[in-house]
Amino acid sequence: MKLYNTLTRKIEDFAPINPPNVGMYTCGPTVYDYTHIGHLRKYVGDDVLRRVLETNKYQVKQVMNITDVGHLVSDEDSGEDKMEKGARESNRTVWEVAKFYEDYFWQAVSKVNIERPNIVAKATEHIKEQIKLIEKLKKNGFVYITDYAIYFDISKFPSYTKLSGQKLEDKEVGARQDVFVDKQKKNPADFALWFFTVGHFKDHTMRWPSPWGEGFPGWHIECSAMSLKHLGPTITIHGGGDDLIFPHHDAEIVQSENYTGVKFVKNWVHSAMVYCDNKKMSKSLGNMIFVSDLLKKYSPNTIRLYLLSHHYRRCWNYEDKGLEKAKKLATILEKTARKTKITSVDTKKLLPDFFQALDDDLNTPRAIKVLSHLTRSKSPKAGELVTSCGQILGLIL
């Protein structure tokens, strides 16, 4: 099996740290809004990666976070907390917002046959672990404190952004005037580990005591704390959308490696974005395609086939005609599967091209073409093969 590694920027032979066990941490939702097709593409990809690993006889322990505090409107630690914004816009409390949108998320992903991770870790349920991590970073001299927050000092870690390759000298302090920016930051790219509930955040609802003062954790620290607790110091696979590479995953690396002294992640696996009208999906543009709306028109099999007909590392533009094409293929696969007899078939031996495609950096478009071709064959085992292989793609046949 081969996977592309964002860190090394090349496709590599997959080798777990402790075979056959695979620790897999996948970034989950910030639960302040509805789940759209761009989100779903990433979660379906995580689901298929897990299924392929298990098909290859690996024992996967998947941990996914739920961000329910600390993710500000700007990824660079400015603006208001997305949870607070969601509460204000929906006239709910932040706790009600978190529960409502998390429930929506699980309903949406379960309807398209995404398996629940082994562990679901909420940021608000791991405050102690985050404080412990910050305490050690402070003791090691990697942080400084302003009137508003505790920051990681990136000048102490020269290889920061080794994952993203981002050029920090291009960043500006306070480029936008409509969001809060801490003028006491030493470097505009220094990121917050803990916000104090003073000044801009004096009315922040979610707050906890800490050794430095009452406040709430930053966005990045949660994933380091939760992955360390549930998967140990080094993870075999860390998944996420490519929009999280900077600053989120760069920040995770420096936090975690300065805490443990060892490499944080062996394989970084990132999914590319889905565009609508050739633009990034966003609330302000009103171009988001929500999962609940898709499910009113299309079956789970259709939606999964549509998403998986694009390689996970390729960006693409949402189109209705693509879903209609996937709908026709779903009908054909379901019809073929109904011919299944209760027999035992060696799918890897009889359909090696399908497994070779998936083992080649999760080439799901090629795997789907193999299944499509199989439906046109006269093989008496076509039904069994489509059913068995379809399950690896998460199809309900």
pLDDT in tens, 354-391: 999 999 999 999 999 999 999 998 888 999 999 999 99
What is the reported pTM? Answer: 0.94
Kindly tell me if the per-residue pLDDT of 286 is higher than 90: no
Kindly report, residue by residue over 77-113, the tens digit of the pLDDT: 767 899 998 999 889 999 999 999 999 999 999 999 9
Model pLDDT, residue 343: 66
Check whether the bond before 20 is cis (ω within 30° of 0): yes
| Lowest mean pLDDT, pick from 218-227, 283-292, 335-344 | 335-344
Kindly tell me if the per-residue pLDDT of 218 is higher than 50: yes
4 domain residue, yes or no: no
Model pLDDT, residue 277: 86
Please give the residue range of the domain that contains residue 357: 298-313+320-392
**137 and 235 inside one domain:** yes
Query: How many domains are contained in the chain?
Result: 2
Residue with the bigger pLDDT between 143 and 172: it is 143
Neighbours of 91 (CB within 10 A): 8
| Lowest mean pLDDT, pick from 126-130, 213-217, 243-247, 341-345 | 341-345
**150 and 243 inside one domain:** yes
**110 and 224 inside one domain:** yes
290 domain residue, yes or no: no
Q: Name the token pair of 80.
A: 């208001």
| Lowest mean pLDDT, pick from 75-84, 108-117, 175-184, 331-340 | 175-184
**305 and 267 inside one domain:** no
Considering the chain, what is the average pLDDT of its residues? 93
Using alpha carbons, select from 306, 286, 285 the residue that is nearest to residue 295: 306
Mean pLDDT over 312-325 rounds to: 96
215 domain residue, yes or no: yes
Using alpha carbons, select from 191, 188, 217 the residue that is nearest to residue 204: 217
Mark out the alpha helices in the chain (DSSP H runs). 37-55, 82-90, 94-111, 127-139, 219-231, 250-260, 291-297, 300-308, 320-337, 347-350, 352-359, 364-375, 382-392
Residue 365 sits in a domain whose CATH number is: 1.20.120
Report the share of the chain in percent with pLDDT over 90: 82
75 domain residue, yes or no: yes
Residue 58 sits in a domain whose CATH number is: 3.40.50.620
Kindly tell me if the per-residue pLDDT of 392 is higher than 50: yes
292 domain residue, yes or no: no
